[in-house]
Amino acid sequence: MKVSILQFPGTNCEYDTQYAFEKLGATTQIIWHKSESIPSDTNLLVVAGGFSYGDYLRSGAIAKFSPVMKAVTDYANSGGKVLGICNGFQVLTEAGLLPGALKRNDSLHFISKFHHLKVINNNNVFLEKLNKNDVVNIPIAHHDGNYFIDPDGLKELEINNQILLKYTNASGEAQNPNGSVDSIAGICNKEKNVFGLMPHPERAMELILGSDDGIKMLQGFLK
């Protein structure tokens, strides 16, 4: 299992992501954004979190024009598995690989804390090792995590089982930290090979640091 992890100027979660996947037994490689290709043996491509290009203009807006993004789009369009975490999710929506957009949090504050998430759909390679309605405890750390999609788009997501995770409290009841439409924390594309979420499973890999629920999530990709 080979995981390639994208690194833009301002990315800061690439080493956490590397640690997480290596802990699960994968081999990893960090790919600088100037690269025009991704390794041909890549089984999963991760767009890691951080503040690519300082979040200038909009989060993810400039990263989408990095040289490597053409290869990412080709990889995704040919069925390759892509996971965008936090800023990576923002990059994937900006690049049009995932529907919707991430707006400034309703509170206008940067939010950094553990938050519970409920599994909404698990008929995809990412969450298939979890059950529907399972609740996991995963850190969130974002300023622009307020997921927006118009009512027609939301209907599409629901019909195609594209909503992966919603923000909840510990008992799985809706609790919305940032104003996201329908408390959505993560989605996938219609083809179910491109995944994006604002929470950071790679930061929940050790019980001693608060939670290891990230293991259950990320190991879905390890076959």
Partner 1 sequence: MKAIVNISLKAGVLDSQGKAVHHALDSLHFQGVNDVRVGKQIILKLDTQDKTQAMSDVTKMCEELLANTVIEDYEIELV
Minimum CB distance to partner 1, residue 189 (Å): 15
**Amino acid of residue 189:** N
The residue from 14, 94, 142, 202 that is catalytic is 202
167: which strand partners?
117
Can residue 65 be called a binding residue for partner 1 (CB under 8 A)?
yes
Stretch in the footprint of partner 1 (CB under 8 A) among 20-28, 100-108, 128-136, 201-209: 100-108
- Indicate the Cα dihedral angle 15, 185, 77, 37, nearest 10°: -20
- Considering 86, 142, 143, 188, which one is annotated as catalytic? 86
Is the Cα torsion angle 199, 136, 76, 39 positive or negative in sign?
A: positive
* Closest alpha carbon to 98 in 111, 107, 85, 116: 85
User: Any catalytic annotation for residue 13?
Assistant: no
Considering the complex, what minimum distance in angstroms separates the CB of residue 63 from partner 1?
12
Binding-site size, partner 1 (CB under 8 A) = 19
User: Could you say whether residue 55 binds partner 1 (CB under 8 A)?
Assistant: no
Give the span between the Cα atoms of 140 and 17, in whole angstroms: 15
Q: By CB under 8 A, is residue 15 in contact with partner 1?
A: no
Is 142 tagged catalytic?
no
- 86 given a catalytic annotation: yes
Residues in the chain: 223
Name 57's Cβ contacts closer than 8 Å, sequence gap at least 6. none
Q: Which of 81, 3, 74, 14 is nearest to 41 (CA)?
A: 3
Residue 104 binding partner 1, by CB under 8 A = yes
Q: Is residue 189 part of the contact set for partner 1 (CB under 8 A)?
A: no
Q: Which residue, 9 or 153, is less far from partner 1 as judged by CB?
A: 153
The residues, ordered by sequence, that sit 6+ positions from 157 with a Cβ below 8 Å of its Cβ are 99, 149, 163, 184, 187
Phi, psi of 111 (to 5 degrees): -110, 125
- The only residue of 114, 179, 212, 216 in contact with partner 1, by rule CB under 8 A: 179
Among residues 103, 129, 192, 216, which is the contact residue for partner 1, using CB under 8 A?
103
Q: Is 177 in the site for partner 1 (CB under 8 A)?
A: no
- Name the residues annotated as catalytic: 86, 200, 202
Q: Which residues are near partner 1 by CB under 8 A?
A: 57-58, 61-62, 65, 93-94, 100-101, 103-108, 146, 148-149, 179
